[in-house]
Amino acid sequence: MAANIDLDKISGEIENALTTDISEENKSKLSKIKDWFKERRSEVKPWGEFFNTRKFVRPSNASEATSRLVSNVRVYQANYIMICMLMTFYCILTSPLLLIGLTMSVGGCLYISTKGQGKTIKLFGKEFSTIQQYGLVFLICMPLFFFASAGSTVFWIIGASMVIIGAHAVMLSASTTPTPLDMEMEGVETMK
């Protein structure tokens, strides 16, 4: 049985197709984020200098510890951000349910912001505004975050980062006083 199809009405365009167009506002936000990451990457100190165990010395008093903490956090800020990011990625990748929940929530929000673009959707006979759509994504992903212990993961990352960064910043000697080995190496270099 042949269907009666009017070929003149076929346009080849799909209604409600997922668009990859990114608005100018989103492009500027993305470029700001990319610029921030590029700036931080350029500020990363060499990891050999960062993990130089010869410069790890116990501070003599609380005043010295505080001054080391402040100066090292300022100097190695980009390195500390990288460490926090690595710990975050580790936590996400080692918890499959958390990874699924984050993927669903980010994917849902991206879909709403790029595809929806302020449009309402009709679901189960009820229209949902953009804010309600984001709320729906939150409601759907919330049980996943609960079962994945997202709250405890966030606090673990914060606590572990503070301990690691604090210990490193306090123990790393911020002084520019050369060690005996550095003085020996300096003498070798000048003899050339």
Instruction: Output the pLDDT for position 77.
Output: 92
Nearest by Cα to 173 from 48, 44, 54, 45? 54
pLDDT of residue 106 exceeding 50, the answer is yes
Backbone angles phi, psi at 123, to 5 degrees: -135, 125
Degrees to nearest 5, angle at CA 94 with 92 and 97: 70
Any idea where the domains of the chain sit in the sequence?
58-172
Name the DSSP letter for residue 56.
B
Q: What is the pTM of this model?
A: 0.67
Distance between CA atoms of residues 160 and 87, nearest Å: 9
- Across the chain, mean pLDDT equals 81
Distance between CA atoms of residues 8 and 29, nearest Å: 42
Instruction: Output the pLDDT for position 1.
Output: 52
